[in-house]
Amino acid sequence: ISKGSLAGGGTFSYGVTTPGVESTVTVSFTAKGRIKAGGSVSVVLQEDQEMTGSPVVIFTSPASDVTVSNPTWTAGTKELVFQTAGSGSIVEDGRVTFTIGGVRSPSSVTGASTASVTIYHPDGTNAGDVVDAGTLTMGAISAGSIASGAFESAIDTPGVRSQVTVT
C-alpha cells in the first residue's frame, strides 16, 4: 500500500492578500486516503510566512464530528502540526476544509507560491505513516492601497517653511 496524493488541487487562501497582514487562512483539498481520528496534519509554509504562537484551527468540512487538538506552530521550520480529533474520521476522497487563524502574509509583494501538506496515520509522523501528501497553491500577495490620508501644513502661505502633518 502506498501513500495517496491529494486530489483536486489544494488551496491555501489568505483572508487578506496585502503584505504583512494577519488574517484567517482557508485550506482546502481532497484527501485520497481515509484520515482517522488521531491522525496528524502537517502544513509547511514558505520563507517569510508566519503564524501566531498558538494558531486556532477549525474544520469546516467535515464540520460535524471532526475537531482539532494540539495545533503547534514551529517558526524555525515554518511548520504547523495538529491532530484530528472527535468522534469521526475523514472519508477517502473526502473534501477537507479548515481555517487557520493568526496567519501573517509575506512581508512584501510576491507572486503565487505553494505550501506542502502531509497527512499521517495516528501511529506517528514518520515516512511510513504518511496517508496523503501534496501541494497547496497560494495566490499572489499584492500591494495595498491607502484608503484615505491628509497632508496638513501649519502655515498655508506659498514659500514659507512650516510644520507638516501627514496622516
CA 71 to chain centroid, in Å, comes to 13
Cα–Cα–Cα angle for 67, 69, 74, rounded to 5 degrees: 130
- Confidence class for position 124, pLDDT limits 50, 70, 90: confident
Residues 22-40: tens digit of each pLDDT? 999 999 999 888 888 888 9
pTM: 0.82
Residues 40-73: tens digit of each pLDDT? 999 999 888 889 888 999 999 886 788 899 999 9
Residues 86-112: tens digit of each pLDDT? 887 888 888 899 999 999 999 999 999
- Confidence class for position 81, pLDDT limits 50, 70, 90: very high
**Residue 111's pLDDT is what?**
92
**Residue 44's pLDDT is what?**
95
Spatial contact of 21 and 147, defined as CB atoms under 8 Å apart: no
Distance CA 14, CA 19 (A): 11
Give me Rg for the CA atoms of the chain. Answer: 21
pLDDT at 1 over 70: no
Residue with cell 469546516: 60
**Residue 82's pLDDT is what?**
94
Is residue 42 classed as helix, strand or coil in its secondary structure? strand
pLDDT at 167 over 90: no
Continuous segment of H or E residues that includes residue 56:
strand 50-61
Mean pLDDT score of the chain: 88
**Residue 2's pLDDT is what?**
60
